[in-house]
Structure 1
Amino acid sequence: MNLGEYFERIGFHGSYDTPDLATLKLIHKRHVMSIPFDNLGMHCGETLTMDLQVIFDKLVRSRRGGWCMENNVLFAWVLREMGYTSTTLGSRIFLNPLKGYSDAEEHIFNKVDIDGVAYVADVSFGLSQQMWEPLELVSGKDQVQLPGTFRFVEKSGVWMLEKMSRKPNIPNPQFAHTSLINKTETQQIYCFTVDPRSAEDFMGTNHQLQTDPSSLFNRKSICSLQTAMGFKALIGWTYSEVTYKPEEGVDVFNMRKVTNDEIERVLRDEFKVTLQNKLQPVNRKSCLTL
């Protein structure tokens, strides 16, 4: 494994001599624009591992995507190699049907400290809730990015991440009432403490999310990639191209159904992903929203 291969994968050609905020912002954004957030492997007969070498070979050398247990583990290695002071953290995901957070920490991400200021670097939440650049870990501050306005709220040592979204515009009337669109103005994303975690702490969760029939990742096949003006997503057989239009106060969701015969082409052309085994798309009922 080496940084040169990773930088080529994300299209980063700048200097990285100094582990500063500007460089962190750039590689963070290049990562989410280049490596998809997806769980496709588990829907084509693969087991998703947290072994760093396996993750590097998959995401970098095979130019695949992965979920947080892969993307953010890889990014933690990148941060260490570049000389950043970073800490692995875990969070509990907000579940809309329950109007509360998951009981266990199901998401892994990284905190980076630069010149006495802490930032959350999370390159693998995907879809509309994906931050494009690291967020300063400060309570009550609105942090505006093209996807929307993010904000942390801290209460008694627990940090909650939320995002203020724009009104969805859905041109295709077939999807006017789809459950894939979250129409609430403020979306709760996850909560966490700053107690350090390690990749090993998530081994059981990594297995459970792949094997539990009630797991979101078992119930839906997901692939998403951030673009210059929004993101693309393939959820089961539903393909979406989302364009952020902050000047109009809306996000435009262009959505359509694809057939089994189209899946391979869509993954190749839109996400630059080629799978070794045939994907079995899944789109059972769950709490996922774009």
Structure 2
Amino acid sequence: MDIDAYLDRLGVARPAAPDLATLRLLQERHLAAVPFENLSSHLGEPVVLDEDALFEKVVHRRRGGFCYELNGLFAALLRALGYDASLHAAQVFHADGTPGPPLDHAAIVVALDSGDWLVDVGFGRFARHPLPLFSVDPQLDPDGEFLLLDAPHGDIDVLRDGEPQYRLERRPRPLADFVPMAWWQTTSPESHFTQSLTCSRPTSQGRVTLSGDRLIETVDGVRNEVRLLSPDAIHLAYRVYFGMTLTRLPVPPGESPLTSGAPQPDTALT
């Protein structure tokens, strides 16, 4: 891995030591610089869970991704920097409070001298700072109050503002374990990733999200939404808010990207 190129993507200098302060900075910068997005599903692009392919997409093409991509690649960076970082599967809770299927999500656990810490840069709105897995107390974060509770079989339930988010496995997983579920998430008409189009990242005052032609900005708790009326305006929003210069726009849900001709991998540059 070209560590310096990845750190440049995050706007971070090479750290002196793999400690908690550096981990916190890396997580904050990753969330701010690399958007959570599912554009590949709407561009006719395959999602390849291979570290080289992910590096090409996120670092060289300056794109984002979803959980398996972002946490898979970030875990590799952390290991390259000397951290003991492993991927862990999670079941995302449904609205009715029941957990979803196994391997529905991938998160990172980093082992430090102080204990194990949950790191997640691929869940959309989530904690901006590492969460100690060994703490049973509520944990305040810029994006909410988090609580980690014991669950069956030694798993951990993660709650934000009292709402269950996901159930985390304690056993580590290789990135390859997530390939079948990643394929389902990006291709099945029943997956919410194929039913919706999103590109989102936190900001210093809230969050910015581009969903098709809807640009949504939350500033100090106030939500503002505008409709972008032309393809040029949408291209500009991707470039200004997410640093991505797309060669073509993703196709909205309900329309197959394959109808516009053979898909080519998109590029995104600053």
What TM-score do you get using the length of structure 2 for normalisation?
Answer: 0.89
Structure 1: give runs of 5+ residues left out of the alignment: 165-185, 245-250, 285-290
Alignment correspondent of 2:258? none
Conserved? CA contact 1:230–1:242, under 8 Å: yes
Distance 1:238 1:283, change over 3 A: farther
Deviations 1:45-95 (A, max 9, x none): 211111111110111111111111111111111111011112210100111
- 1:260 Cα offset (Å): 4.6
1:253 aligned onto 2:223 = yes
Which whole-Å CA distance do the structure 2 matches of 1:207 and 1:260 have between them?
32
Aligned pairs for 1:126-137 within 5 A: 126=124, 129-137=125-133
Structure 1 segment 153-192 matched on structure 2, within 5 A: 153-156=149-152, 157-164=154-161, 186-192=162-168
How large is the Cα RMSD of the aligned pairs? 1.7
Partner-residue secondary structure (3-state), 2:7: helix
Conserved? CA contact 1:64–1:274, under 8 Å: no
Letter in 2 for 1:5: A
Q: Which residue of 1 aligns with 2:82?
A: 83
Q: Does the CA contact (< 8 Å) of 1:142 and 1:151 recur in 2?
A: yes
Question: Which amino acid in 2 is paired with 1:39?
Answer: N
Once the two structures are superposed, what CA deviation does each residue of 1:140-165 show, in whole Å capped at 9, x if it has no partner? 3111111111111113412111111x
Partner of 1:123: 121
The percent of aligned pairs where both chains have the same amino acid is: 31
Determine which of 93, 109, 112 is the counterpart of 1:111: 109
User: Conserved in 2, the CA contact under 8 Å of 1:39 and 1:223?
Assistant: yes
SS of the counterpart of 2:117? strand
Q: Residue 7 of structure 1 aligns to which amino acid in structure 2? A: L
Runs of 4+ in structure 1 off by over 6 angstroms are none
Are 2:152 and 1:138 aligned? no
Q: Is the 8 A contact 1:237 1:281 kept in 2?
A: no
Match of 2:4 in 1: 4
Match of 1:174 in 2: none
Residues 139, 154 of structure 1: 8 Å contact kept: no
Q: Is the contact between residue 71 and residue 121 of structure 2 (CA under 8 Å) also seen in structure 1?
A: yes
CA contact (8 A) 2:41 2:187 kept: no
Q: How does 1:187-226 map to 2 (within 5 A)?
A: 187-226=163-202
1:189-221 Cα offsets, whole Å, 9 max, x none, are 111220111111111001111111010000001
Q: Indicate conservation of the 8 Å contact 1:220/1:283, yes or no.
A: no
Tell me the distance in 1 between the aligned counterparts of 2:102 and 2:229. Answer: 36
Mapped contact 1:94–1:100 kept (Cα < 8 A): yes
Taking the aligned partners of 1:44 and 1:226, their CA distance within structure 2 comes to: 24
- Partner of 1:189, secondary structure, is strand
The answer (yes or no) to whether the contact 2:89–2:102 under 8 Å persists in 1 is: no
TM-score by length of 1: 0.83
Residue 244 of structure 2: aligned partner: 273
Measure, in 1, the Cα distance between the counterparts of 2:55 and 2:242.
18
